[in-house]
Amino acid sequence: MLGLLVAISAVACYAGALSITNVTLPDRSAGWVYLRYSPDPTWVNRIEFRCEYSISPAPATPPTITWLKGPFTDADRLVVYKWSSSGEVYVHPEFAGRVSVPSRTRPTLVLTDAKFDDWGRYWCRVTNEEQSDEFGTDEESLLFWYKSTVYDYDAPPRGGYSSFVEVDKTPVRVKTGGTARLNCQGAGGPLASIVWFKGPSCSQDGNCNVYEIVINKTAVPQPHAILGPGTVNVSPKYAGRASLDFNDGPYYNVYYPDLTITDIRPSDVGRYWCTNDAPLWYQNDLRSRDSQSVVVLLDDEAPTPSCDGKADGMYQDPGDCSRYYTCSGSWLYGPVPCLTGLFFNEALQGVFADEDRQVIYKWSSSGEVYVHPEFAGRVSVPSRTHPTLVLTDAKFDDWGRYWCRVTNEDQSDEFGTDEESLLFWYKLGYDPPTRLSQVNLDKTPVRVAAGGTARLDCTGTSGREASILWVKGPADCTQGGSCDSYETVIHKSAVWGAGNPEPENITISPSFDGRVSLDADGSGSFTPTLTITDIRPSDSGRYWCAPDISEDYSNLGPLNRDAQSVVIIVNDPGTEPTCAGKPDGMYQHPADCAQFYTCSGGLSYGTNTCPAGLVFNQELQLCDWANNVICV
């Protein structure tokens, strides 16, 4: 079975699942962003602070967007701009007429007429009003500097000593009594001020600046024989359980920002913030302090994945609908996470050959045009002869695999419909696709006599970690182009380890049993090339090669699977080329007038195909226009 990743709002999740907010600022960096004054009359005093977010699962009501300025955790941080869930907008008087947020879904802050006093650390905060605890609010920051002169040396206080942290934001799941390790990259050593907070406690209007200090390491001059690496203070709630990474060096001891919490308790569940800074005694300015967050979840109450009694396929993690696992031969692989903001839809399994694939645009033979409501006003196909799909106003949810299908309404079987795909990715700072599926199929029609052997050459993703699928179809195509019923010919599932050999993970359709096989690659594994022996008339049709890398190796899950097709034509004995009793020359192929063969001395020499749109004119001994030729 195959799987599908869809929008969060469409799928029922485990009842205990939380809605988690995640904020990303694509332009945050270890330095700062700046706007430099220029006397050039064409200079525009304008800068954008980009902000993106995801909320999984998505709430029914829009979130509150807040842009703040000032030190992290400071209750007096300046609210620059707030767009409440109710639609009300507040702008601080100092920024009146100078700031705007054009879109709630991509809450970029636009600042115009900037001045020197605008410099500082700006925070993009997103609050899910339906999840008022710590899981519903996240924020990230960037440091802005207004270069009020044309000189390059004009830089913020502390310059290159500005704080910067990178937290692994993957939710940490741990059982009661277990250990949670929160990874944070940032400056360590005696000079560093390292603080971990937990929180915030938020009100429903997005005002939330109450945080609990978990652990705090003070900064000290380096080296310092008396103060050593700095003083570490731990909250009484975490006494004896929270610690920073520590390196007992030969000259002095060093602390690093990674946090470990042992003997996990239910009250530990929440959002943790790593803040790492150069020492505050060095140009003491809290505007430098950066922070990022990660959530800790308790796994105790959530059901665990199981393959007991389940058919091979992919299933939603019962404890987290944003993860899925794979069952193959009763072995469990995973769970693995979906892309940020997406979850696994078990009810709509299937991507390629899925009967529920979304029809984005259809231009029927009758001339009628249909556009899916989600793409209304955003997609068009300017030409039927070159059916390029034009997409405008793209958004993150548009990412996925797009298929171009062409159906000949006069040929409703498998020969009349073909399609190919491409994977579209809308980059908004999220992880890009990894380990993409590859397929390259020789699409030359394969002609074979009954009882013969057909070899379908396909190159692409292969090996033990590959899932190799061949299907036949589509069958039962309607004249409207709706046809997604396929027969699985052979399927090799992905395997791991010598104890789980590949042949035991190959399933074959009963109609092809004992007649189909995949090529071996010489190292005991398989490639996508397919061989069918003892060809029968019922084998005529269209075959699809769809190899894919295991979902454990790609963050796209089943949407990674690509496919291409080739047709098999089974020739009846009466339609085979023959030169018996024929003089030397070229003759039209009895099964296809677009092909011809050569006779010489009573022997047949190969079959050739005319250029596209032409057929063989036996009288003139050349390829000609169809209206000049009578097909035999």
Q: How far apart are CA 261 and CA 177, in angstroms?
A: 10
- What does the block give as tokens for 276? 């790492």
Q: How far apart are CA 116 and CA 156, in angstroms?
A: 11
CA nearest neighbour of 192 among 213, 236, 161, 215: 161
DSSP β-bridge partners for residue 517: 531
Question: What pLDDT, on a 0 to 100 scale, did the predictor assign at position 525?
Answer: 77
Q: Classify residue 148 as left (phi > 0), alpha (psi -120 to 50) or beta.
A: alpha
292 vs 576 pLDDT, higher one = 292
- What does the block give as tokens for 8? 């969060």
226 pLDDT band, cuts 50/70/90, is: low
CA nearest neighbour of 441 among 527, 521, 570: 527
Question: What pLDDT, on a 0 to 100 scale, did the predictor assign at position 10?
Answer: 37
Cβ–Cβ < 8 Å for 540, 446? no
Q: How far apart are CA 194 and CA 212, in angstroms?
A: 14
Cβ–Cβ < 8 Å for 318, 305? yes
Segment of 12-16, 162-166, 453-457 carrying the highest mean pLDDT: 453-457
Q: How far apart are CA 131 and CA 362, in angstroms?
A: 40
Question: What pLDDT, on a 0 to 100 scale, did the predictor assign at position 224?
Answer: 56
Mean residue pLDDT of the chain comes to 78
Q: How far is CA 185 from CA 188, 255, 271, 429, in A?
A: 9, 12, 17, 19
**Coil, helix or strand for 531?**
strand
Q: How far apart are CA 285 and CA 457, in angstroms?
A: 66
DSSP β-bridge partners for residue 61: none
What value does the mean pLDDT take over residues 12-30? 73
Q: How far apart are CA 457 and CA 455, in angstroms?
A: 6
Q: How far apart are CA 230 and CA 577, in angstroms?
A: 90
CA nearest neighbour of 543 among 459, 474, 450: 474
**Domains defined along the chain, listed by start:** 17-298 (2.60.40.10), 361-571 (2.60.40.10), 573-628 (2.170.140.10)
CA nearest neighbour of 470 among 423, 517, 504: 517
- What does the block give as tokens for 70? 């000032």
Q: How far is CA 28 from CA 31, 121, 339, in A?
A: 8, 11, 21
37 pLDDT band, cuts 50/70/90, is: confident
Residue 481 has pLDDT above 50, yes or no: no
- What does the block give as tokens for 456? 């379908």
248 pLDDT band, cuts 50/70/90, is: low
DSSP β-bridge partners for residue 259: 182, 244
Question: What pLDDT, on a 0 to 100 scale, did the predictor assign at position 68?
Answer: 93
122 pLDDT band, cuts 50/70/90, is: very high
Residues 6+ apart with CB under 8 A from 17: 57, 319, 320, 321
Classify each residue of 403-413 as buried b or exposed e, where b means 16 or more C-beta atoms within 10 Å of its C-beta: eebebeeeebb
Name the percent of the chain lying above pLDDT 90: 22
Q: Classify residue 476 as left (phi > 0), alpha (psi -120 to 50) or beta.
A: left
Cβ–Cβ < 8 Å for 381, 361? yes
Give the residue carrying structure tokens 């003997």: 263
Q: For the whole model, what pTM was predicted?
A: 0.51
**Coil, helix or strand for 24?**
strand
Please report, to the nearest 10 degrees, the dihedral formed by the alpha carbons of residues 311, 312, 314, 315 taken in order. Answer: 20
237 pLDDT band, cuts 50/70/90, is: very high
Q: Classify residue 532 as left (phi > 0), alpha (psi -120 to 50) or beta.
A: beta
Please report, to the nearest 10 degrees, the dihedral formed by the alpha carbons of residues 344, 346, 351, 356 taken in order. Answer: -120
**Coil, helix or strand for 260?**
strand
